Amino acid sequence: MSDTQTLSPEILNVTENVTFTPLELKYFVLELKDMMAEGKFDLPKVIRAARFYADIERSDKQLKEGKVITFTDDEWEKFINEQNLH
C-alpha cells in the first residue's frame, strides 16, 4: 500500500499533482464531505484544511509521546536572545 495519495493536475486545474499522506487524505475526505453537504465546493480550501488538521493531529501525537521541547517564558526569552533573533 502506498504512503501517499495523489490528485492529478487535471482535477485541480493546476500544474502539479497534489499529494496527501494517509492522515491528510482522511481529513480531506471528511472536509470534502462536510463542504459538499453544505452545498459548497472550494477544493483549495478543503486541501488546506485537511493539511491543517493533519498537522494538528501529528503535533498532538508528538506532544503526547514527549517528542517536543517546551520552554518557560524565561527560557524562551533567553533562547531568543542567544539566537539574536530580534
**Interacting residues of 15 by C-beta distance below 8 A, sequence separation 6+:** 9
Q: Give the bridge partners for 20, in sequence order.
A: 5
Question: Is the overall model pTM greater than 0.75, yes or no?
Answer: no
pLDDT at 74 over 70: yes
Encode pLDDT of 20-65 as tens digits: 999 999 999 999 999 999 998 888 899 999 999 999 999 999 989 9
Contact of 20 with 4, CB cutoff 8 Å = yes
